[in-house]
Amino acid sequence: MDTGISPGSVGIVTPQTAKFSEPVRLKCGAAVDEYELVYETYGTLNAGRTNAVLACHALNAAHHVAGHYADDPDNVGWWDNMIGPGKPVDTNRFFVVGVNNLGGCHGSTGPKSINPKTGKPWGSDFPVVTVEDWVATQARLADYLGIGRFAAVMGGSLGAMQALQWAVSYPQRVRHALLIACTPNLSAQNIAFNEVARQAIITDPDFHGGHYYEHHARPTRGLRVARMVGHITYLSDDEMASKFGRQLKHGRIQYSFEPEFEIESYLRHQGRRFSEYFDANTYLRITKVLDYFDPAFEHGGDLARALAPAAAGFLVISFTTDWRFSSERSREIVKALLHNRRDVTYAEIDAPHGHDAFLLDDARYHRLVAAYFDRIGVDVAV
């Protein structure tokens, strides 16, 4: 009999929707009066409600963190190698929540949702959101699910920023924060890449000032280029060299502008696939979420002061070949936590994959997370 459960998988999962009718005031000053968040859960919340873990998504993912759908078995969650029975985040012990953030395009209220005031899609009128806004709305989801305090909030990249913000915004609601491939803020170079992506989208003739839904159009060309630019920054130079090198598709130079090098067709493929399912307005907003994240900004650039309220235990992990959010950036966070005398462990994983390493199978990385979760398990008695 096929149970639909492969070893180590949480099996078939079903997304759920939480409706919130109390307005949320956003950092930009705008308010969203009512909204929905789509989420998934894996494992069981224990009687003491002590074993909940929030897994925060990065730029291009959503609430589908682990398992697969009954009607779409190939659609496997983005952190399925990390979360499941017997996996580093063991769903036999922990209750894991994944949520599509506000402004997203996977079912939570966002630019392509209907604005109740106009009866039309929000489009460009959907406000610009921030990591703080996401964390505030995730906290409401936690209330809705009856979770007072998370055993851990974790994420990679932009997900790690949310975990850090959780520790600062809600110190009493986070026992442990796992910050993987994180940075305390984006560098000028990081922002520059985001701006290229935004310009690609905004200057696409199908963008229509962000109201493309009404024109039954989608700025897929812009979104493709945006994704291609982004993807370059996720991989290391070495990884690209070993995966593609200067390999030619047709074995010889064609003197044309069709994709000739393997890396060109790979990027085009990535861009095309992404543009088919991702919403351009969401992409624009998420790049802004990244750009604006800077907890030290309101403390005169003093990160240690910004992180002073945090009371969680921290596991900070960086990857040596990550040039997008380099190890030095993670060390800035570690230094600030050391200054505040917080419990912190820092590991630098020598992995070849660049920024994307946080999503990939790496035994040293996964063993570390598993060992840390064993400790968390002791803390919360599961």
Partner 1 sequence: MRNSNGIQRADFAAIADWVHPGSRVLDLGCGDGTLLQYLTRKRGVTGYGVEIDDGSVLACVSNGVNVIQGDLERGLSDFEDRSFDYVVLSQTLQAVRNSERIIGEMLRVGREGIVTFPNFGYWRNRLHVLAGHMPVSENLPYQWFETPNIHLCTITDFEDFCREHGVRILERIVIRNGGAVMFLPNLLGSLAVYRFQRA
Binding site for partner 1 (CB under 8 A): 315, 331, 334-335, 338-339, 341, 343-350, 364, 367-368, 371-372, 374-375, 378
Q: Residue 177 or residue 334: which is nearer to partner 1 going by CB?
A: 334
Least distance CB 103 / partner 1 (angstroms): 35
* Annotated catalytic residue, options 63, 68, 353, 355: 355
> Nearer Cβ to partner 1, position 37 or 376?
376
**Closest among 268, 287, 359 to 81, alpha carbons compared:** 359
Closer CB to partner 1, 350 or 361, in the complex: 350
**Residue with smaller CB distance to partner 1, 253 or 363:** 363
What lies within 8 Å, CB to CB, of 38 at 6+ separation is: 15, 16, 17, 62, 63, 99, 100, 104, 106, 107, 108
Q: Which residues contact 159 (CB under 8 A, 6 or more apart)?
A: 55, 56, 57, 58, 180
Residue indicated by tokens 């009999």: 1
H-run or E-run covering 326: none
For residues 312 and 176, the answer to whether their CB atoms sit within 8 Å is yes
Instruction: Out of 133, 279, 322, 356, pick the active-site residue.
Output: 322
Q: How far is the CB of 171 from partner 1 (least distance, A)?
A: 18
What are residue 365's phi and psi, to 5 degrees? -60, -50
Taking the alpha carbons at both ends of the chain, their separation in whole angstroms is 31
Residue 187: CB minimum distance to partner 1, A: 19
The active-site residue, picked from 113, 157, 318, 327, is 157
Q: How far is the CB of 259 from partner 1 (least distance, A)?
A: 39
Residue spans of beta strands (DSSP E) within the chain: 16-20, 24-25, 31-32, 35-42, 52-56, 83-84, 89-90, 95-99, 114-115, 120-121, 150-156, 174-180, 313-319, 344-349
**Residue 53, helix vs strand vs coil:** strand
Residue 366 beta carbon to partner 1: minimum distance, rounded to whole angstroms: 11
Q: Nearest approach, Cβ of 302 to partner 1 (angstroms)?
A: 13
User: CA torsion sign, 296 to 299 to 303 to 308?
Assistant: negative
Residue 176 to residue 343: CA distance in whole angstroms: 9
362 is catalytic: no
Has 322 been annotated as catalytic? Answer: yes
Q: Which residues contact 184 (CB under 8 A, 6 or more apart)?
A: 164, 294, 295, 296, 303, 329, 332, 333, 336
DSSP state of 27: T
Alpha-carbon distances of 228 from 217, 221, 222, 231, 257, rounded to whole Å: 21, 11, 10, 5, 17
Q: Are 193 and 233 in contact (CB under 8 A)?
A: yes
Is 232 or 304 the residue whose CB approaches partner 1 more closely?
A: 304
For partner 1, the closer of residues 228 and 376 by Cβ is 376
Q: Is 355 part of the annotated catalytic residue set? A: yes
Considering beta carbons, is residue 283 or 358 the nearer one to partner 1? 358
| Smallest separation (angstroms) from partner 1 to the CB of 370 | 9
DSSP code at position 355:
G
Q: Count other Cβ atoms within 10 Å, centred on residue 123.
A: 18
Coil, helix or strand at residue 57: coil
CB of 367 to partner 1, least distance (A): 6
Q: Which residues are catalytic?
A: 157, 322, 355
